[in-house]
Structure formats: structure tokens, C-alpha cells
Amino acid sequence: MNQVVISGAGLWRPAHVITNEELVEAYNAYAVRFNEEHAEAIASGELAEKPLSSAEFIEKASGIRQRYAYIKEGILDIGRMRPKIPRRREEELSHQAELALHSARIAMASAGKTGDDIDMVIVSCAYTERSYPAIAIEVQNELGITGTGFDMLVACSAATFALQRAHDAIAAGSARAVLVINPELTSPQVNYTDRDSHFIFGDVSTAMVLERADTCTSVHSYEILGSRSQTVYSNNIRSNFGYVAYAQDVDPFCAENLFHQNGRSVFKEVCPMAADHMLGQIDAVGLSIAEIRRWWLHQANINMNQLIARRLLGRDPDPEEAPIVLDEFANTASAGSIIAFCLHHEDLDAGDCGVICSFGAGYSIGSLVIRKR
């Protein structure tokens, strides 16, 4: 088996920011108008009154202060409450491929690789813009990569699950190097009219290059000591939007076809699962908790990360041990732990170990234990 390393990482931020205050102002104006317009139905119990949101609640309950938006226009417009993303012709680059290319090019430059060096492209994220052709094949074409490209959907664990696939392909010799990209264009699936979830997500794109250790020339590279993915079925985080919508006599864009969750249950159930998963994985590669210098955890909720870190360490983590990036980015589905890695890895010394771990819908949990070379 070939030894596999992470040799490059790339993070791309969209140009637009939406603060909690802006988001709450728009949502509350929408809610007040909704309640006025439906006063009779609300009074008769036919419709539920829209509760008001609060920026203080959002920051306290989640740690989120702002999020990036690929396209801001439309999201804060109370007559629309969703981004206004122009439809592109089939001959044009798709939106999601554009996002993917931004982070892919940064990751390839940091690994010192060109399209000729890469044999496989995996676009792995929570949603893809279309069913086919795969976004990965479009990206592959733009980057002049021969070989194979495919899309993978594993919600918040898409990045770590794809990194495991990439590792296995390189270890087995079916690819020399693999580009894993997470173009998380979440804003079109957010229900900005739902008080409980309107603040959760942001757009971003991340990417990583994995290759054989003997071809790596990168300044910062990480040996993959072990990787594991795990799924346990749960209905607590769902999106029902899909291709069957056309054949069902329901509004394809109704609330239950957008992201929705039982946030409290997710919090309670996923934290112990994620901690146990990492404990098992660290043990499996022959390390102890004390030997892990950095935890690049999924970024859904600051309180969740602190609870998980406490369960692992038996104490509160230092900020640099388990870096938080969700204050700036919000929940970016699978990209969260990769953003944390991108922004917080260059200070590690040779021999330092860390864990990249994601958790979310499915439920799904994925992790990689890595050591700096």
C-alpha cells in the first residue's frame, strides 16, 4: 500500500457578508408582515404565528456572528427571502463549478501540482446544482485533468468521506493524486422564512490535494495515519428536495423540501457519537488523546464543539487546540472542518498530530488522524 499525504489545501470565501443583525432585521420584517397579512387565519388557529428572531439568541445559541453569501441579492428582500441566482446557459460554467475552481486552484498551488499530476476529482458536498453531468467532470475539464471525476453527497460529512475515498484510491494505486473539492453553496436550500434555521448556514468552497508521499514536494504536508467513516440512520436533519418532486403533487419548494431539523435532538445525539468515534479512531492508530495537538472539528455550533472537546480532553480546550471558525463562516456543511484546517495548520511542527472530524445529517461522522511531516 502507498503511503498517502495531504499536500495542499484551499479556502475560498464569497465576496458578500450577511451579519446576524442584517439577517434578523429582514426576517423580523418578513414575520411582522406575514402575521399582519394572515391575522385571521392565525386567530382561528389555522396558521401558526411567525415568532421573532434575535441576533443575541443566534450568537449565544450557536456562536455564529455572520455568514458569507455567494449571491446576497434577494436573501434580505422580504418579498423574496432567497438568493437571486441567475440561470446560466448550458455552454457557460455552472455556478457550483465556479466555486469549486476557486478553492481547487488554491489547493493545487499549495501542493505544487498541475492538472497533469492529478488522476481523480471528487466534488463532495451537501447538494449539487444538477444531477448530471457531474460537477466534478466539469471541473476536471476546466483544469485539464485526465482520469476520472465524480460527485458525492454526504451532507456535513461529505468532505471527510471523500478524503477517505481519495486516501483509499491512492493507497491502492488506482490514482497518483486526488483533488477533493467542497463547493458548499448552501444558501439556495436555506429556509430564510424559518426563525429556527434562517441563521445557520453560509456559502464557501474548500479543497484538498492528496497524493503519494514519495511525490510530495509541499512545504506543509500531513501523513494520513487513519481514516474512518460511520453512518447511523436518523430523520432529525432532512431535506426532501429531489428529482421525484416533479412527479409528486406538492410544491417542490415547500418548507419540508428545504433544510429542516430537530436541532436539540441533533445536539444531544451527535455530540457523544462524534466524541466516541474520535476516541476509537485515535486508539486504532495507536495514539493517545494527549498526543493530539489540534482538533479541526465540524463547525455547526460552538457549544457542540466545546462539549465534544471537553468529553475528549476532560477539560475545556484552549482556543488553538480546537479552533472555531463558525463565528465568521456559520455552518458551511462539509467545509467547516476543512476551513478550520486551512486557517490553523501552518504553525504545527513536524511530528505533531491532529484530527479532522465532521458530523451531521445521516447521521454521518467522518474523521482522519494526520501527522505533520
Residues with active-site annotation: 156
Measured between alpha carbons, how far is 130 from 128 in angstroms, rounded to an integer? 5
Shortest distance in whole angstroms from residue 258 CB to ligand CO8: 7
Q: Does residue 263 touch ligand CO8 according to CB under 6 A?
A: yes
Residue 361 binds to ligand CO8 (criterion: CB under 6 A): yes
Nearer to ligand CO8 among residue 198 and residue 344 (C-beta): 198
All three cell numbers of 91:
455552454
Neighbours of 19 (CB within 10 A): 12
- Segment interacting with ligand CO8 (CB under 6 A) among 93-101, 183-191, 278-286, 322-330: 183-191
Peptide bond into 133 cis (omega under 30): yes
Does 62 bind ligand CO8 (CB under 6 A)? Our answer is: yes
Between CA 247 and CA 47 the distance in angstroms is: 27
Largest CA distance in the chain: 71
259 near ligand CO8, judged by CB under 6 A:
yes
Burial class (CB in 10 A: 0-12, 13-18, 19+), 101: buried
In the complex, least distance from residue 362 CB atom to ligand CO8, rounded to whole angstroms: 8
> How many Cβ atoms from other residues are within 10 Å of residue 164's Cβ?
20
Kindly state the cell numbers that stand for 290: 494527549
Burial code (b: 16+ CB inside 10 Å, e: under 16) for 177-202 equals bbbbbbbbbbbbbbbbbbbebbbbbb
Range 72-111, binding ligand CO8 (CB under 6 A): none
By rule CB under 6 A, what string of x and - marks binding of each residue 195-234 to ligand CO8? xx--x-x---------------------------------
- Considering only residues 110 to 139 of the shown chain, the ones binding ligand CO8 according to CB under 6 A are 126
User: Which of 94, 157 has the CB closer to ligand CO8?
Assistant: 157
- Name the site residues for ligand CO8 (rule: CB under 6 A): 53-54, 57-58, 61-62, 126, 155-156, 186, 189-190, 195-196, 199, 201, 237, 259, 261, 263-264, 266-267, 300-301, 304, 331, 333, 360-361
